[in-house]
Amino acid sequence: MKFYSTNDKKNLVNFETAVMEGLAKDGGLFMPVEIPSIEQEFINSIESYEFQEIAFRIAEKFVGNEIGKSDLSDIIRSSINFPAPLVNLKDNLMILELFHGPTLAFKDFGARFMAKTMGYFVKKKNNKLNILVATSGDTGSAVAYGFYETSGINVFILYPKGKVSLIQEKQLTTLNKNITALEIDGTFDDCQRLVKSAFVDEELTSKLNLTSANSINIARLLPQSFYYFEAYKQIPNKSIHSVFSVPSGNLGNLTAGLIAKKMGLPITKFIGAVNSNHVFADFVNIGIFQPHPSVQTLSNAMDVGNPSNLARIRELYDNRLSEIQRDIHSKSYDDVKTRLGIKEVYEKYGYILDPHGAVGYMALKDYEIVRTTARFNEVILETAHPAKFKDVIEEELGVEIDIPERLATCLNKQKKSVQLSSEYEDLKEFLLGAV
């Protein structure tokens, strides 16, 4: 399979180049030249396949012969190695739990698959790779855990000192081995500026084989389509329409779902549920794309004012708004409504949603009113474990939330970080000495 840049359809690369470059040289995002279709027979018999077998069937269509079958199978077995269960709240209303990975968020699927894929290409070339990422807290840990113990790859994670939560900091600073946490005396913007400076520093990039593990990497996007198939597999009544509500920020999760649909997965409608950052809802509803500075909300992983994957959604639909509207419904919900959603689901079903999932729930409730079909399967993607938002949930529900074992263990470990100022020269000196 070849991949093109959303900025230039004639700029074609293979899978390896798309993965290792992350972002196209012209600044565009990589997209497959065609969306392969999945055999109808496979969909009909999907219940007889394991999650990892499903993942393999989808992945090989995009990877082609660039990774051998047994290597691709190894990549999947070592990355898609936790379940995505569909939990029933009541008849036809289901939660797809995507938080069973090591960092308790759905980003583990993408980050782990990308890490193992990059690890494969690095090993094939007998290369060494250094990855530099800035994080405001959450995405960094998924990346760190994904690359943990991958030979040939060192990861340096920059995070702002004193500006991430205790749990987030522990997740970043207790892995060690090939993961180095750099505690920057500055803000998240400083961290991003430092990373950007490093990438344009020719002396540094010539000495270190430096790359980013960008959230828009195609190897992070594709594996997110796996769990839509896995969800469909678990829907008990497949004879009625299915609607999936996706809590959205940068739109990677939603884009992966739309790709699954285009491959032939029978999902009738997607709901792009957004928080007060409503740029996407405006685009879907009135066709105008107007990026805004992001505003802070409870569902902070969705605080995105200029969602980059919109470029990919436009590509999937040849930029035809009416077709986008046929497949996607989108609406914005503020923090008050988010809290209402958490409360309502707990009171009605005894299930604890995190703030991101609550936005998905509220959007689904509203969609029930505007729907046209009589009865349909409703699936809410729960993108994070509620324990990650312990304070808000406990305040809202007055119940105590247990911290899952895999998170609790890192809380007991000793923090290890390298303290650096926000001066670029300090970072450079450290990197040159460390590698």
Q: Does 407 engage in binding with ligand PLP (CB under 6 A)?
A: no
Query: Least distance (Å) from ligand PLP to the CB of residue 135?
Result: 12
Q: Which stretch binds ligand PLP (CB under 6 A): 22-30, 37-45, 199-207, 241-249?
A: 241-249
DSSP string, 260-283: HHHHT----EEEEEE-S--HHHHH
CA distance 273 to 259: 18
Give me the torsion for CA of 4, 7, 8, 12, rounded to 10°.
-20
Annotated active-site residue in 2, 25, 107, 123? 107
Q: Does 251 engage in binding with ligand PLP (CB under 6 A)?
A: yes
Query: Least distance (Å) from ligand PLP to the CB of residue 387?
Result: 12
The DSSP code for 404 is P
CA distance 111 to 115: 6
3-class SS of residue 354: coil
Q: Which stretch binds ligand PLP (CB under 6 A): 7-15, 45-53, 153-161, 245-253?
A: 245-253
Q: Decide whether 130 or 277 has the Cβ nearer to ligand PLP.
A: 277
Measured CA to CA in angstroms, residue 283 lies from 38, 201, 309, 365, 420 at distances of 30, 37, 13, 21, 41
Handedness of CA 233, 331, 36, 119 (dihedral sign): negative
Which residues, numbered 269-308, are part of the site for ligand PLP (CB under 6 A)?
301-302
Whether residue 41 contacts residue 323, with contact meaning beta carbons closer than 8 Å, is answered with: no
Query: Least distance (Å) from ligand PLP to the CB of residue 97?
Result: 12
Q: Count residues contacting ligand PLP (CB under 6 A)?
A: 16
Q: Does 138 engage in binding with ligand PLP (CB under 6 A)?
A: yes
Measured N-to-C along each axis, helices 51-63 and 252-263 cross at an angle, to the nearest 10 degrees, of 90
Q: Does 252 engage in binding with ligand PLP (CB under 6 A)?
A: yes
Is 107 among the residues known to form the active site?
A: yes
Q: Decide whether 198 or 261 has the Cβ nearer to ligand PLP.
A: 261
Q: Decide whether 242 or 330 has the Cβ nearer to ligand PLP.
A: 330
Q: Does 105 engage in binding with ligand PLP (CB under 6 A)?
A: yes
CA angle 150, 153, 154 (to 5 degrees): 110
Q: Does 248 engage in binding with ligand PLP (CB under 6 A)?
A: yes
Q: Does 102 engage in binding with ligand PLP (CB under 6 A)?
A: no
What are the two backbone dihedrals, phi and then psi, of residue 34, each rounded to the nearest 5 degrees? -145, 155
Q: Which stretch binds ligand PLP (CB under 6 A): 38-46, 68-76, 163-171, 244-252?
A: 244-252
Q: Which residues are catalytic?
A: 107
Name the residues that contact ligand PLP, by CB under 6 A: 105, 107, 138, 247-254, 301-302, 356, 383-384
